Amino acid sequence: MSAAITDETLIQQALEGRQAAFATLVNRYERYAFTLALRMVKNREDAHEVAQDAFLRAFRYLPDFRGDAKFSTWLYKIVYSTSLNFLRKQNPEIQSLDDESRPVRLADHGTPDASYAMELSDRNAALQMAIGQLSSDDGAIITLFYLYEHTLEEICQITNLSMTNAKTKLCRARQRLRTIVERTPEIVGH
Amino acid sequence: MLTDELLWDYSDGFLEEAEKLQVEAYLRLHPEQQARLQGILAEKRAFSNLPLEKPGSDFASKVMTAWVAEQAPAKAGTIAKPKGRDWILWSIALAFGIMLALPFLMPASEAPTTLPLQIPADYMQQVQWPTFDWAGLLNSSLMSYLLLLTLAFMSLKLLDKYLQVRNMRLSGH
């Protein structure tokens, strides 16, 4: 029944103070927010915290949501910036996620998720792993474009990149992902 | 020669119209290359069909618990205070304004011409009371401009504070 209710209606109800509307928004977007956060912070517990913070921030600033973009785009922008702030707290030297001289590497991240994913030994898990090996920015942009099927314009709104930069980043991320995929027998051998 | 990169750009819709037409023309002339394009489209479908990560069954309830807890103090605050804090700010602003405007409102007082004590006339020429032209200072145009600027600055600061408090209340803090 809640699937028939549009985001705009839920936002209106939430602004009137109906807690059920907030809960519906969380249920509707929790997996999208968590997946995007996980692509960036590379750790499930941290992604949990980031996604939760992002939802709370979204609710706090809901009165400022003007509706000129989709709610999902606005929410993912908050998830993206919350993830970025989290990464900067972990590593204050980060100036840009795209700085290849200082790649974002988080200690002890990925190993528990890697062993979990490899146990499944199916193509999807291998693809998830391949995306997980990308940098935070590459993982985010690949997820937004190919998994969430956002347009480049929406990705620019989420990441604050120019159109040219977003296209360049996406092409580079795609190349890096294809390199990883070609080295992964579980994907290539399918 | 059609590179994989070009085919990917074509499938992602990144090519200009002229380039797109060239690729389509090439594919029509070389149907064996269609398999490469189909392979790329299959990879894209594999990405878009990837299942989303699950955050855990209690994620939504944790978010809602935190949200309700965040809202509770704000609601309690609005119930306890029937009037907002605005009246305090405006009262302070009014007091400051009156204090700053008083020199303009009060008549400039002159220096006393008669001394409270009877001093012998012999000493009158030796004793010189220091005087300061306060009236002149307060009535000078420089002081007027300074006071006006101070008033304007104080008003803007108070307005800024009022808007901050109002925005915080709207955002639920």
- On whether both B27 and B83 belong to a single domain, the answer is no
Per-residue pLDDT at B101: 79
Residue A33 falls within a domain, yes or no?
A: yes
- On whether both A161 and A80 belong to a single domain, the answer is no
- On whether both A3 and A34 belong to a single domain, the answer is yes
Mean of the per-residue pLDDT values of chain B: 78
Domain that includes residue B108, residue range: 75-170
- On whether both A169 and A120 belong to a single domain, the answer is yes
Cα gap A127→A155, rounded to integer Å:
22
Using alpha carbons, select from A112, A129, A134 the residue that is nearest to residue A43: A112
Question: Region B94-100: what's the mean pLDDT?
Answer: 79
Per-residue pLDDT at A98: 52
- On whether both A89 and A120 belong to a single domain, the answer is no
Last residue of a domain, one of A68, A94, A120: A94
Per-residue pLDDT at A109: 40
Question: Region B51-72: what's the mean pLDDT?
Answer: 90
Using alpha carbons, select from A176, A110, A109 the residue that is nearest to residue A138: A176
- On whether both B85 and B14 belong to a single domain, the answer is no
Per-residue pLDDT at B98: 80
Per-residue pLDDT at A184: 76
- On whether both B138 and B79 belong to a single domain, the answer is yes
Residue B68 falls within a domain, yes or no?
A: no
**C-alpha A88: how far from its chain's center?**
16
Indicate yes or no: CB of B52 within 8 angstroms of CB of A56.
no
- On whether both B42 and B102 belong to a single domain, the answer is no
Using alpha carbons, select from A151, A32, A146 the residue that is nearest to residue B44: A146
Residue B55 falls within a domain, yes or no?
A: no
Determine contact, residues A35/A57, Cβ cutoff 8 Å. Answer: no
Residue A72 falls within a domain, yes or no?
A: yes
Residue A99 falls within a domain, yes or no?
A: no
CATH number of the domain where residue A62 is located: 1.10.1740.10
Which residue of chain B has the CA closest to A25? Answer: B60
Proportion of chain B above pLDDT 70, given as a percent: 71
Q: What is the least distance, in Å, from the CA of A105 to any CA of chain B?
A: 21
Q: How many domains does chain A have?
A: 2
- On whether both B165 and B86 belong to a single domain, the answer is yes
Determine contact, residues B116/B129, Cβ cutoff 8 Å. Answer: no
- Extract the residue ranges of chain A whose pLDDT is less than 50: 1-2, 99-112, 117, 119-120, 190
Task: Mention every residue, 6+ apart, whose C-beta is less than 8 A from residue A83.
Answer: A36, A37, A40, A41, A50, A54, A136, A140
- On whether both B41 and B87 belong to a single domain, the answer is no
Cα gap B60→B38, rounded to integer Å:
40
- On whether both A70 and A145 belong to a single domain, the answer is no
Question: Region B52-78: what's the mean pLDDT?
Answer: 83
Choose the mutation target among B3, B12, B52 for the interface with A, i.e. most A CBs under 10 Å. Answer: B52
Task: Copy the structure tokens of residue B50.
Answer: 């990837």
- On whether both B83 and B136 belong to a single domain, the answer is yes
Cα gap A104→A41, rounded to integer Å:
10
> Which pLDDT band holds residue B125 (cuts at 50, 70, 90)?
low
> Which of residues B131 and A139 earns the better pLDDT score?
A139
Residue B140 falls within a domain, yes or no?
A: yes
Per-residue pLDDT at B79: 46
Residue B70 falls within a domain, yes or no?
A: no
pLDDT for residue B159 is more than 90: no
Residue B25 falls within a domain, yes or no?
A: yes
Indicate yes or no: CB of A48 within 8 angstroms of CB of B56.
yes
Question: Region B136-148: what's the mean pLDDT?
Answer: 80
Q: What are the contacts of B110-113 at 24+ separation with CB within 8 A?
A: B110/B135
Per-residue pLDDT at B107: 60
Residue A36 falls within a domain, yes or no?
A: yes
Name the region of B6 (left: φ>0; alpha: ψ -120 to 50; beta: rest): alpha
Residue A102 falls within a domain, yes or no?
A: no
Domain that includes residue A90, residue range: 1-94
- On whether both B89 and B158 belong to a single domain, the answer is yes
B11 touches A: beta carbon within 8 Å:
no
B54 touches A: beta carbon within 8 Å:
yes
Which residue of chain A has the CA closest to B6? Answer: A171
Per-residue pLDDT at A1: 46
Per-residue pLDDT at B92: 77
What is the CB neighbour count within 10 angstroms for residue A93? 7
- On whether both B85 and B156 belong to a single domain, the answer is yes
Per-residue pLDDT at B168: 65
- On whether both B85 and B158 belong to a single domain, the answer is yes
pLDDT for residue B39 is more than 50: yes
DSSP state of B107: P
Residue B62 falls within a domain, yes or no?
A: no
> Which pLDDT band holds residue B89 (cuts at 50, 70, 90)?
confident
Per-residue pLDDT at B26: 92
pLDDT in tens, B27-37: 999 888 899 99
Residue B33 falls within a domain, yes or no?
A: yes
Q: Which of B14, B54, B172 sits opposite A167 (nearest CB)?
A: B14
Residue B69 falls within a domain, yes or no?
A: no
- On whether both A89 and A116 belong to a single domain, the answer is no
Q: What is the least distance, in Å, from the CA of A17 to any CA of chain B?
A: 10
Q: Which amino acid appears at position B72 of this protein? A: A
Q: Is the ipTM of this complex over 0.90?
A: no
Q: How many domains does chain B have?
A: 2
Residue in the structure block whose two tokens are 């519906």 = A24
Claim: this prediction has a pTM higher than 0.80: no
Per-residue pLDDT at B72: 79
Residue A101 falls within a domain, yes or no?
A: no
Residue A16 falls within a domain, yes or no?
A: yes
Proportion of chain B above pLDDT 90, given as a percent: 27
pLDDT for residue B130 is more than 80: no
Per-residue pLDDT at B148: 84
Handedness of CA A155, A157, A158, A159 (dihedral sign): positive
Per-residue pLDDT at B169: 65
Distances (CA, A) of B140 to A11, B104, B152, B168: 59, 11, 19, 42
